[in-house]
Amino acid sequence: MASEVSHRIIRTNGINMHIAEQGSGPVVLLIHGFPELWYSWRHQIRELAMAGYHAVAPDMRGYGDTDVPLGVHNYSHLRLVGDLIGLLDALGHHKVFVVGHDWGSIVASHLCLFRPDRVIALVNLSVPYRPRDPTKSPVEKMRSLLGEGYYICRFQEPGKAEEEFARYNYTEIMKKFLLGTLPGGLFSVSTDQGILDTLETPATLPSWMTEEDIQYFAKMFAKTGFTGGLNYYRVLDLDWELLAPWTGAEITVPTKYIVGDKDLVYNTLGTKNYVHEGGLKKNVPFLEEIVVIKDGHHFIQQEKSHEISQHILDFFGKFKLSAL
């Protein structure tokens, strides 16, 4: 039987980072997205530990019990990956397995891009790796394709989204983000509406989310607010400038990509075609598996927790001996 989840603070890259961990053996680093926490991996932590791995799930910079530095520039990919390299050094592990979801998938991809020597294999959930487009910045591209009402464009102005969110309490916000559905199927609204106003939440919680879960998320975001997480979006164009040296670079670690067939990411911005018509394989030449989960939505590691854990274990099990 694996030990219980334990918590500690690691000093890394100039910040204090909170991590939750369980088990012993090869390290699996679990990187969460927006608006989530280490807690999003609560099911995987347990199942990975039971299978003989050391599961490590940080609250990323700007979230939970990790520091929330001021300034958009403090949330660049270079700083986020720097946090994780410092974490791995503090743990005393040179090479680890990595799993990312949502923004965590983007950070995980850039960890592999910058430091492939530190990663044995990668599982990305929801968001596939896309290389830097040298012709147009990401926010400019989204504005031209989806308009000013697209949520990432709406998130760009500091303080604006926070004002919109303030109309709701934290419990309502978390239910809307984690469980809400969009009538139009695209996270884009007219500029005279708030982003959260259009999200419809179910009358009752689904089987995979408890009131206790919602309250944990709500309590932690009440402590930090949302600015840290929103800064990941606000630094996109600065990241685009900083990442110029990696234009055309590929992910060169063994990779598995998993997505739900109902995930908005999968059904927006040409992601489905990119994934299945060779674009992802071209940029991730060691892509070994693509898994589309039937009736899976965005927060899939919580919604389909056991299925996702099994997919992670099946893939990493191929490499386990080389990690010991």
The 3-state secondary structure of 68-128 reads CCCCHHHHCHHHHHHHHHHHHHHHCCCCEEEEEECHHHHHHHHHHHHCHHHEEEEEEECCC
Does 193 have pLDDT greater than 90?
A: no
Phi/psi at 267 (nearest 5 deg)?
A: -105, 20
Q: Model pTM?
A: 0.96
At residue 320, the pLDDT reads: 59
% of the chain beyond a pLDDT of 90:
86
pLDDT at 321: 54
Residue 324 pLDDT = 44
Number of domains in the chain: 1
**298 in any annotated domain:** yes
Evaluate whether residue 52 is within a structural domain. yes
Residue 282 has pLDDT above 80, yes or no: yes
Look at residue 322 in the predicted model and tell me its pLDDT. 47
The pLDDT tens digits for 80-122 are 999 999 999 999 999 999 999 999 999 999 999 999 999 999 9
Question: pLDDT of 144-173, one tens digit each?
Answer: 988 888 889 999 999 999 999 999 999 999
- Report which residue type is found at 43: H
Cβ(31)–Cβ(4) under 8 Å? Answer: no
What's the mean pLDDT when you consider all of the chain?
Answer: 94
Q: What is the pLDDT of residue 299?
A: 97
pLDDT confidence bin for 186, thresholds 50/70/90: low
Determine the pLDDT at residue 323. 44
How does DSSP classify residue 8?
Answer: E
Looking at the domain assignment, is residue 1 inside a domain? no
118 within some domain: yes
CB 39 within 8 A of CB 213: yes
CA angle 206, 295, 102 (to 5 degrees): 80
Residues with catalytic function: 102, 233, 298
Which CATH number characterizes residue 272's domain?
Answer: 3.40.50.1820
Averaged over 293-299, what is the pLDDT?
A: 96
Whole-number pLDDT of residue 148: 87
Report the length, in residues, of the chain: 324
**How many helices (H) does the chain have, and how many strands (E)?**
15, 8
Q: Which domain holds residue 117?
A: 6-323
The whole-number average pLDDT for the span 16-43 is 97
Judged against a pLDDT cut of 60, whether residue 64 lies above it is answered with: yes
Half-sphere exposure of 294 (CA within 13 A, CB side): 0
**Which residues, at least 6 apart from 108, have a Cβ–Cβ distance to it below 8 Å?**
31, 98, 99, 100, 122, 124
At residue 185, the pLDDT reads: 53
Residue 210 inside a domain? The answer is: yes
Q: What confidence category does residue 184 fall into, taking pLDDT thresholds of 50, 70 and 90? A: low
Helices marked H in the chain — which ranges? 42-50, 77-91, 103-114, 138-146, 151-154, 160-165, 170-179, 211-224, 227-234, 236-242, 271-276, 279-283, 300-303, 305-316, 320-323
pLDDT of res. 38: 98
Q: Residue 203 — very low, low, confident or very high, per pLDDT cuts 50/70/90?
A: confident
pLDDT given at position 201: 87
Identify the bridge partners of residue 10 per DSSP, sorted by sequence position: 17
Is 281 within the bounds of a domain? Answer: yes
pLDDT of residue 199: 86
Q: Check residues 187 and 85 and name the one with the higher pLDDT.
A: 85
